[in-house]
Amino acid sequence: MLNGIVPLFKEKGMTSFDCIRKMRGILKMKKIGHSGTLDPNVDGVLPICIGKGTKVVDYLMSSGKVYRGSITLGFSTTTEDLDGDVVEHKSLKKQLSDEKINELLNSFVSDDLIQIPPMYSAIKVNGKRLYEYARNNEKVERPEHHVQINYFKQIKDSFYDSKKHEQTIYFEVGCGKGTYVRTLAVDFGKKIGMPAVMSNLTRIKSGNFTIDQTVKLSDVEDAMHKDDIDSVMYSIDHALLQYKHVEMSDSQWKLVQNGVWLRPDELDINDEKCVLTYKKDIKALYYFSKDKQAFKPEKMFSNK
């Protein structure tokens, strides 16, 4: 059975589940998942977790994401991107200066930014997804969403269309999990009383993978045909690089196999979490319990 992570490049026009379905067909196995949905019109890094790799999805998602894209001021849509129907037009009579753009972008940087999720999103309210309410033209109160924005910056000169009276701003944003970049674009416009959309978006980093590390579905298929899947797959350890690794002795491994707690002096570390390996193979992630003053299992990857 295959175990690991494939940093897939998701192409535009595909859903994230389309990628999972195709990967299941290519690899001939069902235990496959992804770490962070990308909308169909967004391309970029989509880490695919295979076999035991599905156990590290949460750790991949917590590593943060980086996107590059554009915001266009002058109109808004039902979906907050170019897929939706235009619902408002407003001419931007005077283009924003770089100074004003940078000031607005910086105003979003926060450890606790509150967003209202777009109606065309998969968040459930009263057991029903928001996009289902939207498609039925039903109104529902959307819950506040707390996200982290590490930075939000301009990456090249903006473009002002003097005929359409629209301005497009090109950005890069580093953010935590659950951030709706579409909503960042819309809220950017709201700060100056202008309708706005996210007019383009690419995820360039996710789960410690950058876009230059990604492979396409065709690359995965070729690797399978050549019996060389390891050439496109990373170890599950890639999701756990931020934690100290401790190689266990034979006696420690016997204890860990049964979920036994370990004292800090047994592991010779004072970190909050650590990865335990045996014969260089990852076996478990342990965390320090202050109440018990011992390391306890948070996630077991193998007990064999």
| Catalytic residue list | 39
**Residue 255, phi then psi, degrees to nearest 5:** -70, -45
Q: How far apart are CA 11 and CA 210, in angstroms?
A: 15
196, 16 in Cβ contact below 8 A? no
Structure tokens at 221: 């298929």
Query: Is residue 260 within 8 Å of residue 245, measured between CB atoms?
Result: no
* Nearest one of 231, 240, 234 to 283, comparing CA atoms: 240
